[in-house]
Amino acid sequence: MNHIICAPVFSDHMVLQQNKPIRIFGHARWGISITASLLPEKDEGTEATGSDFSPAATASVTVSPENLPKDMTFAPYPDAPADHIRFCVTLPPIKAGGPYRLSVLGQAGQKEGDDTVACEIIEFHDVMIGEVWLAGGQSNMEYALEADRDFERIKNAPSSRVRFYNVGRRFFIDENFYEEERKDHWMCTDENLGTWSAVGYYFAEKIAEETGVCVGIIGCNLGGTSASAWQNKESLLSCEKTRSYWEEYEEILSTLDPDIYEKERLDYIEYHSKWQPKSDEYYRTHPDATWEEMQAAVGICKWPGPMGPKHEFRPCGLYESMLMRIMPFTLKGFLYYQGESDEHKPNSYYALFKNLIALWRKDFGDSTLPFLFVQLPVHKYRDNPPSESWCILREAQMQVHRDVAGTGIAVAMDLGEYNNIHPTSKILVGERLALQALYHVYHSIPENSAYGPLWESMECMDDKLCITLSHAEDGLVIKDFTDKDTSKLGFEISGNDGVFHPAFAEFSGNIVTLSSPEVCKPYNARYLWVEYAPVYLYGTNGLPLAPFHTGLSF
């Protein structure tokens, strides 16, 4: 029987965080002493010398409830033997380097005397010390490198300094869960590179290039998910604006027949597994077909299936079956790309997102962990009716960035694609997240290199409204706009009636003066308050002017 079992996030080829206490955790037999040591990795076939056993870092702990840190969250292990409990041994900070081997040694006292004897040793090889970021969110973070427009270039020359760990996409915990979880492991660029998050890879490639150290990305994401799936019940119920996420789900559960639900779930899985390939093939051969035409040809879309306790989109579900499984691995920070699946409740997103950031920081034991995220780009499905939902989501994301310390925002307004919610090129998204990290976290570039123009303040002057922009002291650059009519650039103004009209724009440095013959006395302004439109305005650093609404609050 194993006396020590480390969490699956510990494996060969892993990256551990430099210059921070490193938590090694899992479950082990009550009362044994565990010593974790980082040792130089010796070449295969060479004789061990005394220096091989000089640890770069070492720490010990006795397995007991009193010795488990109380200020962070640890994944439960209900499959563990009855005499096992969770443990955590914390190595002291160590600078970047490697490769190392991580030795986890368990010792139990003899029946007589005070000496101890080794009862078990686990070793992990090719361990690097560098930077570790968790990449969370939904499908645009999950979007795989092999589907990316630039994959052929990456495949032929991947960065040797980037490693990846994919948290298995498991939606509920059953009798097979833990056995499957043990298959998760860290990967180098010669293993399944195409399955890695494209955004995560491009971010890591840039950070590795700039810092010169190994970068590990922990992918913990799933397409189609609301932010409510990635936090716990207490978080959702803590705020009036987010309570409905849990209460609506609870109402479904109150009328659910378990047997009927299980049959409907399995029937849906079988149906959708056949329907999806038909749909993909129909769109391949009929690229201009409408949604209705496609369904008429191959059958109706029943996605996402019956809601219930095994559904991947249920509130709090993926928090339990994915995110918790890697807590509290020592991180540098979080990357996040999500929001699309909360368009049905855009006015709740500000509170929902703030709750998520606070909870993740608490769970990983550091209220100051950097949280870098992507603002949603332009997007519209051809057949969908007009909606302001994504506009509100973008503004909520910007307001979270302004209000929550330690956050960074990658403005991606110009990186969307018409009729495609999954833009096929992610390199600029990853690199813009990296710019936020290089400014906020690594302090290696100035603020004006990380940000495009942002709305800062406004002043009403008779029949005109003056907008002051930050990060635009050298003025704006107008790209690919040949029309002389500046009212087509995306600015609008309103009077106190709240009705917006296209506005003519005049530019002087970081000041934009707006006017419209339809508005005698301007009261508010907005820019690119649209689902999808061309983006023409940029800073001199090539980053776009972020969309804004001067009259919206959360």
Domain boundary among 272, 289, 307: 307
Instruction: Return the HEC string of 31-68.
Output: CCEEEEEEEECCCCCCCCCHHHHCCCEEEEEECCHHHC
Confidence of residue 150 (pLDDT cuts 50, 70, 90): very high
| Domains held by the chain: number | 2
Q: What is the pLDDT of residue 53?
A: 58
Q: What is the pLDDT of residue 120?
A: 87
In a domain, 385, yes or no: no
| Alpha carbon 116 to its chain's center | 44
pLDDT in tens, 279-304: 999 999 998 899 999 999 999 999 99
Q: What is the pLDDT of residue 1?
A: 57
pLDDT in tens, 233-274: 999 999 999 999 999 999 999 999 999 999 999 999 999 999
In a domain, 241, yes or no: no
Q: What percent of the chain has pLDDT over 70?
A: 96
Q: How far apart are CA 378 and CA 414, in angstroms?
A: 7
Residue 43 has pLDDT above 70, yes or no: no
Q: Is the bond leading into 65 cis (omega within 30 degrees of zero)?
A: no
Residue 6 has pLDDT above 70, yes or no: yes
Residue 515 has pLDDT above 50, yes or no: yes
State the average pLDDT over residues 32-56. Answer: 71
Residue 118 has pLDDT above 70, yes or no: no
Instruction: Please state whether the predicted TM-score (pTM) of the whole model is above 0.85.
Output: yes
In a domain, 498, yes or no: yes
SS3 label, residue 317: helix
Q: Which domain holds residue 294?
A: 257-307
Q: How far apart are CA 498 and CA 511, in angstroms?
A: 23
537: domain CATH number is: 2.60.40.1220
In a domain, 488, yes or no: yes
In a domain, 518, yes or no: yes
Q: What is the pLDDT of residue 119?
A: 78
Q: What is the pLDDT of residue 137?
A: 98
In a domain, 7, yes or no: no
Q: Where are the alpha helices (DSSP H) in 335-424?
A: 349-363, 389-403
State the average pLDDT over residues 452-477. Answer: 96
State the average pLDDT over residues 170-194. Answer: 94
In a domain, 539, yes or no: yes
Residue 54 has pLDDT above 90, yes or no: no
In a domain, 499, yes or no: yes
SS3 label, residue 125: strand
Domain boundary among 307, 337, 366: 307
Residue 112 has pLDDT above 90, yes or no: no
Q: What percent of the chain has pLDDT over 90?
A: 89
